[in-house]
Amino acid sequence: MSQNLWNGTVSKQTQCLTNRILGVSSANNSPTHKKKDAGIRQYHEVTGDIICPSMVQGIDHLRDPRLNKGLAFTLEERQVLGIHGLQPARFKTQEEQLELCKISINRYQEDLNKYLYLVDLQDRNERLFFKLLSENVEMMMPIVYTPTVGLACQKFGLIYRRPRGLFVTIHDRGHVYDVLRNWPEPDVRAIVVTDGERILGLGDLGACGMGIPVGKLALYTALAGIHPHQCLPIMVDVGTNNKDLLEDPLYIGLRQKRVTGAEYDEFIDEFMSAIVKRYGQNTLIQFEDFGNHNAFRFLDKYRDSYCTFNDDIQGTAAVAVGGLYASTRITGKTFADHKIMFVGAGEAAIGIADLCCKAMEADGIPQAEARGKIWMADIDGLLTTTRKVGDLHGHKKFYAKDHSPVKNLLEIVKEIKPTILIGASATPGLFTPEILQEMAKYNERPIVFALSNPTSRAECTAEAAFKNTEGRVIFSSGSPFPPVNYNGKIIKPGQGNNAYIFPGVALGVIATLMHHIPDDVFLIAARELAACVRDEDLESGSLYPPLDSVREVSLRIAVGITKYAYAKENILMSAEEMRQKYHREGIAAKGLASTYPEPEDKRKWLEGQLYNFNYESSMPITWSWPQPTPMKTRAVKPTKLTEKEETC
């Protein structure tokens, strides 16, 4: 009998059995073992699946969330893996398990407890977690994502349990690469990083903002089929200026004011190059919920030299523009027929405004004319050319108008008479009944987007929007609102959230090995999203397809991006860059390079790379390089072993 991590013993029969099936002799350093081990490593490097089920034995199989299938292990698997008897007798299908998950979640009254249940499920049985999410997006997304993830971030110090992602602090300067090496997965292809300075519309949550990269990456897998082990959430902790957190004994981050200036910039520079050194030039780095100023600066600084995008600027822009494309089917107007008013002049507003201009330019409107149709107001009122120079930094200046200053939003709306009103201000209730009524006075179908997240920060509720416009509004919000009953008609407004965009963009970018991401990608994403909107969605009051179809939307976006990427070869990794990357990582470039030529059927090619949400067999397999071939296994009940086998 040999020692087991749990309570003691694993039967020798089981060990012998598994070893024989694997072709492994009992001496670990035997030539046979080494050969198989090398084969396993090569297999993983190509398929991306890191864990070899048959290398993990006994209770560890149940403790590993990537291998655990709960009661779905068959009798044969339980015997071969040495877990027979560690579970009750019942066998369950994954479908039966999903039903139990739903029952369990519904038993919780509080959203935070539902969130914790799902965190726990992900830590226990990863495939079940992702299947649950991917097949019940409408029900689960508000829990793992906005709005509940906002609450989870606010309570992060209270609910933090175990590692999911990396915390890199400013004190790690000079050693960021070493910290990255502590992450156990060698095949990371996508990172979502935040410094927690502007978490949703909730402000500076410091290290508690880690909930956001975790939630975003859960959607990478659930909505776009990107493999979980290829996703890495990172919080770069440079301190926080949130006084409450600094005084909170439960706070889990660095207890110091934010480091800014050159020191901060050098730290982020080091972070970016450490990512490339560790995971390669084409590792996707999604910036999320950075403060306004830094978000724009970093996007401009890194966009051409790294594979990066800013979700709050570009992802939000694409979802809003996708909604506006869809609205043209209701109003019959083109982009150029509109006068667009933004309230808030931060990441989301500027990003959407810039992409609206790009959309108009694509329709043949000159840039200056396009910018002229876009008005913007911030906390100090209408953006006018009379503003102090420092007030009009970055792209804000493109939207400042020759107009006398107006502070009050109702006055602004009365004066400008926009056809589209977009809120990205994180100020709940900013769109008052009077403002909504004003919009309805001169627009047959006023378009109002209340995009601030989470739901508690939206500029108005869906109900207020419909009630104050005689039900004529075309409405979207960033976070979900329940259906509205307007004069007996049930209206289901859509959720203009970047979750429709970033998973599909990530899939397209990762699959094609792009090394930087041009803005065109987001216009493509917006168009593909709009193309997925059905007439019945528009009739039910939504500019977006149902959340339960986001997986299809992601795939379509990825197909669109793949076509674009191959048409614009210079954004893909060159053969030489590929060779260097794979040489450094010790992977046979030959095997991987065979995926490089342009795939004819792009959808099929992408589908072939997606994560499998269904349980796979846990029975050992073997293969001969390079083609994995299943090995015949023989399930033998331990009791039937012969004397000779028992002593092997």
Ligand X SMILES: O=C([O-])CC(=O)C(=O)O
Active site residue 216: yes
**What does 282 bind: Mg ion, ligand X, none (CB cut-off 5 to 8 Å by kind)?**
none
Residues 116-155 that bind Mg ion (CB under 5 A): none
Distance from C-alpha of 135 to C-alpha of 547, rounded to nearest angstrom: 10
For the bound state, the minimum distance from the C-beta of residue 519 to Mg ion, rounded and expressed in Å, comes to 18
Residues 436-465 that bind ligand X (CB under 6 A): 453
Q: Which helix (H) or strand (E) holds 520?
A: helix 520-531
263 is in an annotated binding site: no
Exactly one of 68, 97, 146, 549 binds ligand X (CB under 6 A); that residue is 146
Say which DSSP state 212 is in.
Answer: H
516: left (phi over 0), alpha (psi -120 to 50) or beta: beta
172 belongs to the binding site for ligand X (CB under 6 A): no
Q: For ligand X, give the closer residue by CB, 345 or 641.
A: 345
Q: For ligand X, give the closer residue by CB, 423 or 478.
A: 478
Q: For Mg ion, give the closer residue by CB, 289 or 438.
A: 289
Q: Are 189 and 441 in contact (CB under 8 A)?
A: no
459 belongs to the binding site for Mg ion (CB under 5 A): no
Q: Are 458 and 452 in contact (CB under 8 A)?
A: yes
Distance from C-alpha of 648 to C-alpha of 646, rounded to nearest angstrom: 6
Q: Are strands 9-10 and 2-3 parallel, antiparallel or unpaired?
A: antiparallel
165: left (phi over 0), alpha (psi -120 to 50) or beta: left
For the bound state, the minimum distance from the C-beta of residue 432 to ligand X, rounded and expressed in Å, comes to 22
Distance from C-alpha of 182 to C-alpha of 449, rounded to nearest angstrom: 43
Residue 24's nearest CA partner among 630, 644, 622, 640 is 622
Virtual torsion, Cα 241, 242, 247, 253, nearest 10 deg: -70
289 is in an annotated binding site: yes
Residue 177's nearest CA partner among 306, 263, 290, 272 is 272
**What does 354 bind: Mg ion, ligand X, none (CB cut-off 5 to 8 Å by kind)?**
none
312 is in an annotated binding site: yes
CA dihedral for 52, 57, 60, 65, sign (positive or negative): positive
Exactly one of 312, 438, 459, 528 binds ligand X (CB under 6 A); that residue is 312
Give, in degrees to the nearest 5, the angle at Cα 645 between 640 and 647: 120
194 belongs to the binding site for ligand X (CB under 6 A): no
Structure tokens, 546: 């149902």
Residues 469-528 that bind Mg ion (CB under 5 A): none
**Could you write out the DSSP letters of every residue in 560-597?**
HHHHHHHHTGGGBPPHHHHHHHHHHTT--HHHHHTT-S
For the bound state, the minimum distance from the C-beta of residue 234 to ligand X, rounded and expressed in Å, comes to 16
* Mask for 273-302, x = binds Mg ion (CB under 5 A): ---------------xx-------------
Residue 610, classed as helix, strand or coil, is coil
Total residues in contact with ligand X, by rule CB under 6 A: 9
Q: For Mg ion, give the closer residue by CB, 289 or 537.
A: 289
Q: Which of 145, 399, 544, 615 is an active site residue?
A: 145
537 belongs to the binding site for Mg ion (CB under 5 A): no
Exactly one of 221, 498, 542, 549 binds ligand X (CB under 6 A); that residue is 498
Structure tokens, 582: 């794979």
Residue 287, classed as helix, strand or coil, is strand
Q: For ligand X, give the closer residue by CB, 195 or 289.
A: 289
113 is in an annotated binding site: no
Virtual torsion, Cα 569, 573, 577, 581, nearest 10 deg: -160
CA dihedral for 382, 383, 384, 387, sign (positive or negative): positive
Exactly one of 497, 512, 554, 562 binds ligand X (CB under 6 A); that residue is 497
For the bound state, the minimum distance from the C-beta of residue 565 to ligand X, rounded and expressed in Å, comes to 24
For the bound state, the minimum distance from the C-beta of residue 288 to Mg ion, rounded and expressed in Å, comes to 5
Q: For Mg ion, give the closer residue by CB, 296 or 375.
A: 296
For the bound state, the minimum distance from the C-beta of residue 289 to Mg ion, rounded and expressed in Å, comes to 4
172 belongs to the binding site for Mg ion (CB under 5 A): no
Q: Are strands 474-477 and 484-486 parallel, antiparallel or unpaired?
A: unpaired
For the bound state, the minimum distance from the C-beta of residue 289 to ligand X, rounded and expressed in Å, comes to 5
**What does 126 bind: Mg ion, ligand X, none (CB cut-off 5 to 8 Å by kind)?**
none
Distance from C-alpha of 179 to C-alpha of 168, rounded to nearest angstrom: 7
Exactly one of 180, 188, 200, 313 binds ligand X (CB under 6 A); that residue is 200
Q: Which of 69, 114, 216, 602 is an active site residue?
A: 216
Residues 311-350 that bind Mg ion (CB under 5 A): 312
Number of helices followed by number of strands (H, E) in the chain = 29, 16
331 belongs to the binding site for ligand X (CB under 6 A): no
**Chain residues in the site for Mg ion (CB under 5 A):** 288-289, 312
Binding site for (S)-malate: residue ranges? 198, 453, 497
Which residues form the catalytic set? 145, 216
Binding site for a divalent metal cation: residue ranges? 288-289, 312
**Chain residues in the site for ligand X (CB under 6 A):** 146, 200, 289, 311-312, 453, 478, 497-498
Binding site: residue ranges? 198, 288-289, 312, 453, 497
